[in-house]
Chain A
Amino acid sequence: MIGLLSREQKEKYTEFGKFVQSNVQPFAWEWEINECIPREVIDKCAEAGYMGGILPEEFGGQGWDHLTYGVFTEVVAKASTSLSGLFNVHTMVMKSILKWGTEEQKQKWLPSMTQGKVLGALALTEPEAGSDIQGITTTFTETEDKIIINGTKRWITFGGLADVFIVFGKMNGQDEKATAVIVEKNAPGLNVVQIKNMIGFKASALAVLEFDNCEISKENVLAKPGFALSHIAPYALDYGRISVAFTALGIMRGCLEYCTSHVLKRKTFGEKLISHSTIKEMITKMGVDYEAAAHLCIHSCHDKENHHPSSAEKVIIAKYFTTKAARKHSDNAVQILGAMGCNESHPVARYYRDTKTLEIIEGSNQIIEMILGNSFARKYRSSEIKAGLGSK
């Protein structure tokens, strides 16, 4: 992985590693137990300039390229998947406002978000609509100068801590056009209820958002009604998937580091674990998948940087491969660590739990199979046609 980075990216990798070593790693377990990340930690991230890393300097960001953002996520996720979830949703919200927001919306939200004074969360999923996102039933009703929101959003990462949400719903009286709006946490009629007992992302302050005649200004519509599910959500989720792919990469990196250290020390039957061929096989597969996943993740970031039209698909491929690989290798990591890996105090136990959720969020891997299956079938078919073999 490191060998594939530019000099500046390598320097950042080292900087992120030092930050995480002192501010995240030693406390990550405690956050999991308490199911919350203290605000002071987020303030430290803000001080270091990490809340708006990928945003342009014009809005107080650091102007990182996509790969630097990815590398940052990898380093954070190795220590705390829950904290990587914050950067994920906060970035999706900032990027959406940057792309689609009016000048006023950008000026109002982005500088305070890059400084970490305001935290963002993205509210798409509902009790009755997850993968089938067209089925959302949250309604937006226009009055003269307001929009009234009714409905419920569930499983909203950092919903319990966020100050501002992008909420997706359907605009009443306008052909039920899918619309996105910006909602402040203290909007009248919004109630936030924290969700406990997740198996993964335990400290990511997931929440239910209940909108009961919640009132917002009409100026809070993001972009135009009708484009929320075709443009705004996919644009945001593209960043979400970069984050999830690199989160899985960070977990694989962690699995490798903990497992290799262990198998070089631990002896069974008079020999180090690494001497046993089945253990070697597990370590080999882990290392090979880590390298392969790193290439896919990096390649997708390069395509995104170059604004390549197929970058969204490359990101999906990276998310799919990396989350599946991380799932498999976190399982093997627990196996290699034995009972130690079965105790919550060991990071691989957390990896084991968190990787299950990575296969569900930002487009579950089944939904990705629907997209990629069709896309690969089409690509294969068109190359047949190009070769003159297609049946007309």
Chain B
Amino acid sequence: MEHNSIAEKINKYVLDSVNIDRIDFDMDIFEEGLVSSLFAIELMTFLEKNFEIKITTNDLDMNNYKCINSITEFVCKKKAGDLG
């Protein structure tokens, strides 16, 4: 799956989970307070299921989940095996 389609899939999921209609790919989803207290683990489950990756303690870095762009980068690296 290439970078753009990963980003699109993540965008669609995040949009379904936040209270706004459109989202900038650089917008900080957690800082803006757009999401519920369940979102972090729901996002984790979504990423694990849809991109066949396993998120572990090593991946707990807020920079990985800040915005759609950073989540996409994280998934791409994870899929390429760069993050173990």
Contacts and interface: CB of A to CB of B under 8 A. Distances in A.
B38 A307 contact: no
A238 B41 contact: yes
A101 B57 CA distance: 8
Q: Give chain A's interface secondary structure class.
A: helix
Contacts of B13: 309
Interface residues of B, number: 24
B48 interface: yes
A321 B37 CA distance: 20
Interface in B26-53: 30, 36-38, 40-46, 48-49
B19 A374 contact: yes
B36 A371 contact: yes
A140 B13 CA distance: 36
B40 A390 contact: no
Given A309-B49, A382-B16, A227 B60 contact: yes
Contacts of A100: 56-57
A135 interface: no
A392 interface: yes
A223 B30 CA distance: 20
A339 B16 CA distance: 52
A385 B22 CA distance: 12
Contact of B49 (A101, A102, A308, A378): A308
Nearest to B46: A309
Interface of A: 100-102, 223-224, 226-227, 230-231, 234-235, 238, 307-313, 316, 371, 374-375, 378, 382, 385, 390, 392
Interface of B: 13, 16-19, 21, 30, 36-38, 40-46, 48-49, 56-57, 60-62
